[in-house]
Amino acid sequence: MLAYSYTQYGSSDVIEQVTLPQPTPKPNEVLIRIYATTVSAGDWRARSLTMPKGLGLMGRLVFGITGPRKPILGTEFSGVIEAIGSEVTSYQTGDAVIGFPGAAFGAHAEFITMPEDGKLTPKPDNISFEHAAAIPFGATTAYDFLVNKAKLQQGETVLINGASGSVGSACVQIAKHLGAHVTGVCSGGNAEMVRGLGANHVLDYRKQDVVETGVQYDMVVDTVGTLPWAQAKHAIRDGGKMVLIAGITSDMFVGGLKARLAGKKMVGGVASEHRDIMEAVVKLAAQGVLQPVIDRSYAFEDMKAAHVHVDTGRKKGNVVVSFSEQQAVSNIA
């Protein structure tokens, strides 16, 4: 099978197309022919080893000290089951599915194997393969932080920094679904899109400082790491919460203490990749509550170009890489 691999950290130039043996499913696994995947922020971070200041060593411990531990990137995908293991009972060949290997990676390839009871769920018929592939990474992060960790309530006011990204755009939609009053922070060029996702107000970070507005919120969510506690605290009401999905090193380690001393709360940690969360966001997408934003779509042979675009830091929502069904079938023959 064809796949994209990297053996050293760096720019998109380190990505190379390779030919590998097609994987064989174990008794409890399914073999999936991938129709669409994405280049996510997780792929960018793992490939470039771009980490918050002071966390470079931790990055190498996670992704590989001397080189990448997982040479095939790709955190999410949609596709069709090609074969099943002898013990599999929940799926059949031909079933369309959405998968979330997450930190295990492996979706930048023509085929992937997943455990039957892993982070895998049927693809709803009313969602295209391209949109299905763009659901897991951003939406599960948004759902876990807003619903499970921060417990956002109906009627609360929330500021979402980075509202046009994969995680941020999902945060806007999920927060609105929960009944919150949403203010999104993004560039002026993305303001209309963020309003279309449901934001009540939009701030252009190039023209407005969220602190200078004088408005305070029940919750401030930073999805991109550009709104440190020292600045965000002024925009949070007494007893309110800072939700740190991405942030600077000091906030990650001692932000909770700083927030408590100020009479506020810091919600952080690592997003859960539990299957229940993926099933919840896929259900929201099937109901039309959640629509993953797709910035650009690339053909599989243009994988490197997709990485180049993500490297610019200007993507809106998700960057999708896909096979057409005809291409996928021909590649099997």
Count CA atoms closer than 13 A to 126's CA, side-chain side.
10
Burial group, residue 61, by CB count within 10 angstroms (0-12, 13-18, 19+): exposed
* Other Cβ atoms within 10 Å of 214 Cβ, number: 8
Q: What CATH superfamily is the domain 2-134+293-332?
A: Medium-chain alcohol dehydrogenases, catalytic domain (3.90.180.10)
Is residue 297 classed exposed, middle or buried when 0-12, 13-18 and 19+ CB atoms within 10 A define those classes? middle
Q: What are phi and psi of 223, to 5 degrees?
A: -100, -10
Least confident of 43-47, 119-123, 133-137, 328-332: 328-332
Structural domain spans, the chain: 2-134+293-332, 137-267
Report whether 199 contacts 183 (CB < 8 A).
Answer: yes
Predicted structure pTM score: 0.92
3-state secondary structure of 152: coil
137-267 classified as CATH 3.40.50.720: yes
Mean pLDDT of 142-161: 98
E strands present in 127-235: 157-161, 181-186, 201-204, 217-222
Alpha carbon distance 253, 251 (integer Å)? 6
Query: Residue 194 corresponds to which tokens in the numbers above?
Result: 């963020």
Each residue's pLDDT tens digit, 249-290: 899 889 999 999 999 999 999 999 999 999 999 999 999 999
Report pLDDT digits (tens) over 176-187: 999 999 999 999
Cβ 105 vs Cβ 72: under 8 Å = yes
